[in-house]
């Protein structure tokens, strides 16, 4: 049903303003049956959420988008407002044509994700949602199968992460490790070659590094601030670095991830 709204203070629009912690608590984000909400910002992200099978709770749109989505979702509340109203509600400074409020999908099982994949990205304590969103977009675009998150990593469905990933966080399968999970044991159990990305000179140059055809690969990425944990590096199959020039010590983790995921992806020229 389409509802015309004229005031940005209309209480029905409050959920579109909510921060991530209001949309989904920590326990919601760990729920295997699906709990809490997320916000899809932009008509492309809304469409990807719908194609991914996510359940819409409400939409905020311009006139054209409201009519378009109403034909698909006749029983969903669709609020229609002018540019100033939509700009005010999103707080982004731009009047997005569509914003969607969705129910969060169930969290996947880490073991099942590893069992059914051959190219996995692992984010360890990667708490910056912008960096995580960029990594997710690269992983989806370059043919990787899924994302495995440590307990301290950001939420792929956080507003900023989902916006930066352009909604690919809804199509790239992801799972979250329990804090007491021994990652190296899990990777060994599913026959993964684990590749720890590092700026250290002790790492193998990516230029000279390759993986065998049909070999299962997990790329390990740490935070901008601290990098990977020493134990994670110790248990990794290999440490790999991207050679730097001009006295630059490293790249942003999102940029570095794109290079490595391309070099070691399923369509790389290996052997």
Is residue 225 helix, strand or coil? coil
Predicted confidence at residue 269, as pLDDT, reads: 58
From CA 26, how far away is CA 190, in angstroms rounded? 28
User: Could you identify the residue written with the tokens 């006295």?
Assistant: 247
Evaluate the CA torsion angle 242, 249, 119, 161 in order and state its sign: negative
User: Could you identify the residue written with the tokens 């199509």?
Assistant: 171
Predicted confidence at residue 33, as pLDDT, reads: 62
What angle separates helix 253-263 from helix 129-141, to the nearest 10 degrees?
20
Predicted confidence at residue 86, as pLDDT, reads: 94
Predicted confidence at residue 214, as pLDDT, reads: 86
Nearest Cα residue to 217 out of 113, 120, 112, 140: 120
Predicted confidence at residue 271, as pLDDT, reads: 43
Residue 50: phi and psi, rounded to 5, are -65, -45
pTM for the full model? Answer: 0.91
Predicted confidence at residue 170, as pLDDT, reads: 93
- Which regions in the chain score pLDDT beneath 70? 31-33, 180, 269-271
* Matching CATH number, 2-103, of 3.40.50.1220, 3.30.1330.30, 1.25.40.10, 3.30.499.10: 3.30.1330.30
Domain ranges of the chain: 2-103, 110-263
Helix (H) or strand (E) holding 110: helix 110-115
Predicted confidence at residue 55, as pLDDT, reads: 96
Predicted confidence at residue 179, as pLDDT, reads: 74
Nearest Cα residue to 38 out of 106, 128, 131, 86: 106
Nearest Cα residue to 48 out of 168, 159, 174: 168
Residue 137: phi and psi, rounded to 5, are -60, -45
Residue 31: phi and psi, rounded to 5, are -80, 130
CATH architecture of 110-263: 3-Layer(aba) Sandwich (3.40)
HSE, CB side, 13 Å, CA atoms: give it for residue 223: 15
Predicted confidence at residue 32, as pLDDT, reads: 65
DSSP-assigned states of every residue in 122-181: EESS---HHHHHHHHHHHHHTT--EEEE-TTSPPTTSHHHHHHTTTGGGTS-EEE--TT-
């Amino acid at each position: 049903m389409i509802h015309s709204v004229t005031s940005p203070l209309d209480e029905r629009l409050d959920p579109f303003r909510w921060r991530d912690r209001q949309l989904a608590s920590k326990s919601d984000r760990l729920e295997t049956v699906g709990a809490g909400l997320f916000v899809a910002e932009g008509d492309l992200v809304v469409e990807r959420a719908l194609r991914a099978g996510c359940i819409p709770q409400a939409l905020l749109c311009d006139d054209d988008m409201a009519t378009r989505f109403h034909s698909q979702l006749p029983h969903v509340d669709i609020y229609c407002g002018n540019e100033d109203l939509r700009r005010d509600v999103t707080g982004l400074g731009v009047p997005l044509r569509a914003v969607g409020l969705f129910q969060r999908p169930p969290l996947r099982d880490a073991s099942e994700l590893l069992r059914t994949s051959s190219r996995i990205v692992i984010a360890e304590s990667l708490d910056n949602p912008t960096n995580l969103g960029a990594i997710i977009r690269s992983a989806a675009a370059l043919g990787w199968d899924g994302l495995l998150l440590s307990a301290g990593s950001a939420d792929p469905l956080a507003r900023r992460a989902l916006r930066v990933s352009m909604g690919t966080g809804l199509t790239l399968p992801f799972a979250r490790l329990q804090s007491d999970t021994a990652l190296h044991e899990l990777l060994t159990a599913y026959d993964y070659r684990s590749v720890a990305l590092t700026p250290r000179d002790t790492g193998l140059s990516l230029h000279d590094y390759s993986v065998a055809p049909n070999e299962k690969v997990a790329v390990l990425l740490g935070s901008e601030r601290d990098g990977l944990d020493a134990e994670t590096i110790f248990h990794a199959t290999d440490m790999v670095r991207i050679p730097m020039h001009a006295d630059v010590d490293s790249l942003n983790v999102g940029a570095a991830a794109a290079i490595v995921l391309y070099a070691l992806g399923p369509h790389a020229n290996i052997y």
